[in-house]
Structure 1
Amino acid sequence: MKNHEDVDIVIVGAGLAGLTTALALHRLGVRSIVLESSESLRITGFALTLWTNAWRALDAVGIGESLRQKSTQMKGFKIASPDTGSFTSQQALDVDGKFDYESRCVKRKDLLEALVNELPSGTIRYSSKVVTIDELEWFKLVHLADGSILKTKVLIGCDGVNSVVAKWLGLDPPVSVGRSAIRGLVEFPNGSGFDPMFHVNFGGGVRFGFLPVDDKTVYWFCTFTPSQVPSYEEDWQENPMKMIQFVLSRIYKMPQEAQDVVEKTSLSCISISPLKFRLPWKNLFGNIVKDNVCLAGDALHPMTPDIGQGGCSSLEDSIVLGRCLGEAILNKSDNEDDEFERIKKGLEKYGNERRWRSFSLISVAYCVGYIQESKGKLMTLLRKVWFSKYTPSAFLKMANYDCGPLVNKS
């Protein structure tokens, strides 16, 4: 065999799940290596909404408080009328006090840098693209594009929707939901003046919304069905002005303050991507864990953004995985076979904890998006009745999940 490097734990992908998993292990005194195919940290997506479950996970790795200082706590929804475009109703979060909630929008750059700053130097290896994975007895051999090989006891795939590790495990690739998302981040130098609320408008095949990140920064999104848009063009990514024009054509009835959010967005701070998800039963019955290999984050549960749980659930994964794997590795044994058996059982425990949770999140997100964007009189009526009464509680219920501490105290 070619020259190789022995590494105890290899994490593929320096995104949210990969970095948080590495930090969780680091907090437990377990070293890992994170492989990132890009030349530097990838700051895509601009911002993400983090709910109660995500903040519990961030607190578990010790970076929650620093991020709270840079973000605004959301109080509820401002809902625009599909007929007039005006914000005609409000719905407070946790209206009946049933849930202890926390919801804030955080810049992705701030979040990823907070994770990187807590990791030991050398943890992340950039320009390290995984091309193939082989086996050598219990070990996994990770072949990189530069010809180098890492021999590892544990392989964790945090490499997103097009995961090489998921493919190696035999999971089918995510499928398109027939919708796309345009996202943007806009700065208001003198302050945006927006209330700390989710401002939303949907119906007729389009879902638009925006919310403040802090006093001066606003994150916005527009999800839509390309097949219902005659003017949709494939070159929007290269021509971001077309995206702005499209969104404005869909929100022209809304107040000027909503249109300003889109109009004032820098062309470098807008992106478009197709929405994909993994068929939820694949997570129940497929190989999300096999021996000493597992998945986390979008590689495990790609889902639509309709309940804001994609990033949150990735953080959950990382804490549960860190705890299960940490217990296995830190229980020292002189017998190597015993160590591999402990790792296998630890990852199986992780998989059992995450199967039904990811199934539920993927399913609920898909259904919420379908109802919110569907056309037709019946769906419009259902949306009006359902959103005002059930959406806030649905958001809070899915977010009211505790991944637990890094160290199992039981």
Structure 2
Amino acid sequence: MEPKETAEDIVIVGAGFAGLATALGLHKKGVRSLVLESSPELRVSGFAFTAWKNAFRALDALGVGDKIRKQHVQLQALRIMSSATGEIAQEVDLTVHGKGEPNEIRCVRRDLLLQALEEELPRGTIRYSSKIVSIEEDGAAKILQLADGSVLRAKVLIGCDGINSLVATSLGLAKPSYSGRVAMRGLAHFPDGHGFEPKFLQFIGRGFRSGMRPCNETDIYWFFTWTPSENDKGVPDSAGKMKQFVLANLRSLKVPAEALSVIERTEMNDVLAVPLRFRSPLPLITASICKGNVCVAGDALHPMTPDLAQGGCSTLEDAVILARCLGKAILEESRRGDAGNKRIEAGLNEYAKFRRWRSIELITTAYAVGFIQQSNNVIISFLREKFLSGFLARRLLKMAEYNCGTL
């Protein structure tokens, strides 16, 4: 018996930030889409992310910005601690005005953002337990074979399926490369309140980069990135070992006791370690971000190291621009009664034009910033302590000036 085939105009693969935000953007444009998620429910990894001004521009365009603001405190300053003395090397005011409007930085819990996006979508938009095992072509349509044996015929296919994207592979995009570094991440809960100032605290140098920032009055997110050596084997395999490893390294910097207490307070199931990977920026100059009626967004397009704190932000930019370009094309196609896919292809190509160089700039800058901040080289360390810390902090603010526009 042949598997039953159903047809959908727009299929989005992956119910992460990119997938749900793109679906919501299309919904706001009056265009229906179906989101396929391989897991039985919304998946959250990484605990939290830093949402800069560019992210809130995108969230406002999607209509969920104020909901997220109410759930998270606004960070007032970026405080960079010296790796040599443990003292403050730089403190940058994060509330100063940028281009025409004040900066806005909040540490956003990933689960709360996913829930906010999901709540705005029509019921039935997300189809869970739907893993794609292969993508085939039938003329202009894409035939999606699912693990449960069902088959979907998609007029438009959008890959928001993360760093190991099957859709990106189908477009011929190069697989992400390992950066040689690993990131530990954790979320500490203080039910009675943590008492920390709303500041982004960062420690750099001596071969690692670490930081912490409050999400709200009760939750503090922290991270620690380093280049593993032979002596570090087994550290990422145990939450207990990870915590002790981080604490030992931070104590070597004479980090304040209250900062160490954040790591100590973190529960074992709220700690994880992941290898940091990125897509080489050079091939993206000529690579196919979209081809015909297929495109990619989010980590499927521009996986990058987290050193700019722009991975989640740029994903939200992708979603708004993609929804605007594709939504406009589909509505025009419907209004004019076009039978072909020329307008859709033109819309996706317009999206690719906007996102190609932005993606290349973000990936390249993130890698360079991470190298400088984490380097243990004597000369680089000296320059970082004396001159580069402030420059790098201002670079973070500059990258957040991007405006994705409205839907």
TM-score (norm 1): 0.95
Deviations 1:316-373 (A, max 9, x none): 0000000000011011233311xx1100000000000000000000111000000000
CA distance in 2, matches of 1:113, 1:96: 30
Conservation of the 8 A alpha-carbon contact between 1:14 and 1:36? yes
Superposed counterparts of 1:246-265, under 5 Å: 246-252=245-251, 253-265=254-266
Q: Distance in 2 between matches of 1:305 and 1:165?
A: 23
**2:241 counterpart letter in structure 1:** K
What is the rounded CA distance, in whole Å, between the counterparts of 1:399 and 1:374 in structure 2? 24
Tell me, yes or no, if the aligned pair for 1:100 and 1:400 is still in contact at 8 Å.
no
1:335 is matched with 338
Residue 202 (structure 1) shift: 1.0
* Maintained 8 Å contact 1:84/1:254: no
Cross-structure match for 1:154: 156
Q: Distance in 2 between matches of 1:171 and 1:399?
A: 26
Give 2:173's aligned residue. 171
Q: How does 1:187-202 map to 2 (within 5 A)?
A: 187-202=189-204
Percent same amino acid among aligned pairs?
50
Contact 1:39/1:126 (<8 A) preserved: yes
1:388 shift after superposition: 3.4
- Give the Cα–Cα distance (whole angstroms) in 1 for the partners of residues 378 and 82 of structure 2: 15
| Contact preservation (8 Å) 1:163, 1:299 | yes
Is the contact between residue 276 and residue 305 of structure 2 (CA under 8 Å) also seen in structure 1?
yes
In the alignment, is the contact (CA less than 8 A) between 1:304 and 1:369 conserved in 2? yes
Q: CA deviation at 1:97?
A: 5.6
Aligned to 2:185: 183
Change (3 A) 1:83 1:222: same
Aligned to 1:282: 283
* Distance in 1 (alpha carbons) for counterparts of 2:318 and 2:180: 27
Q: Report the Cα distance in structure 1 between the residues aligned to 2:77 and 2:370, rounded to whole angstroms.
A: 19
How far, CA to CA, are the matches of 1:157 and 1:44 in structure 2?
18
| Separation in structure 2 between the aligned mates of residue 88 and residue 301 of structure 1, nearest angstrom | 31
Give distance in 2, aligned partners of 1:376 and 1:45: 29
Aligned to 2:218: 216
Offset, 1:3 = 2.8
Shift of 1:79: 1.9
Q: Cα offset for 1:91?
A: 2.3
1:336 aligned counterpart, secondary structure: coil
Distance 1:394 1:320 in 2: 23
Report the 3-state secondary structure (helix = DSSP H, G, I; strand = E; otherwise coil) of the residue aligned with 1:155. strand
| Alpha-carbon distance in 2 for matches of 1:243, 1:2 | 47
Give, in angstroms, the shift of residue 392 of structure 1.
2.4
Counterpart in 2 of 1:364? 365
Following the alignment from structure 1 to structure 2, what is the Cα–Cα distance between the partners of residues 214 and 387? 30
Secondary structure of 1:276's aligned partner: strand
Distance change in 2, residues 1:54/1:272 (3 Å): same
Q: What is the TM-score when the length of structure 2 is the normalising length?
A: 0.96
1:102-131 residue CA offsets vs partner (Å, 9 max, x unmatched): 110011010000000011111111111111
Conserved? CA contact 1:74–1:104, under 8 Å: yes
Q: Residue 297 of structure 1 aligns with which residue?
A: 298
Large movers: runs of 4+ above 2 Å: 83-91, 93-100, 233-237, 385-389
Distance 1:23 1:95, change over 3 A: closer
Match of 2:10 in 1: 9
Does the CA-based 8 Å contact 2:82-2:385 persist in structure 1?
no
CA distance in 1, matches of 2:171, 2:342: 19
- Let me know the Cα RMSD of the aligned residues: 1.5
Please list the CA deviations of residues 168-210 of structure 1 after superposition, one character each: whole Å capped at 9, or x if unmatched: 1111100011001000000112211111111111111111110
Runs of 5+ in structure 2 lacking a partner?
Answer: none
Q: Is the 8 A contact 2:202 2:210 kept in 1?
A: yes
Deviation at 1:95, TM superposition (A): 5.3
In the alignment, structure 1 segments of 5+ residues that lack a partner are: none
Q: Aligned residue for 2:82?
A: 81
**Per-residue CA distance 1:280-332 (angstroms, 9 max, x = gap):** 12222111110100000000000010011000000000000000000110112
What corresponds to 1:226 in structure 2?
Answer: 228
Residue matched to 2:239: 240
2:147 maps to which residue?
145
Q: Equivalent residue for 1:118?
A: 120
Residue aligned with 2:308, SS:
coil
1:56-135 to 2 correspondences below 5 Å: 56-87=57-88, 89-93=90-94, 100-135=102-137
Instruction: Specify the alignment match of 1:345 in structure 2.
Output: 346
The answer on whether the counterparts of 2:235 and 2:242 sit within 8 Å (CA) in structure 1 is no
- CA distance in 2 between counterparts of 1:139 and 1:89 reads 54
Could you list the per-position Cα deviations for residues 8-61 of structure 1 after superposition, in whole angstroms to 9, with x for gaps in the alignment? 000000001000000000111111010111111101110111001100000001
Length, aligned pairs only = 401
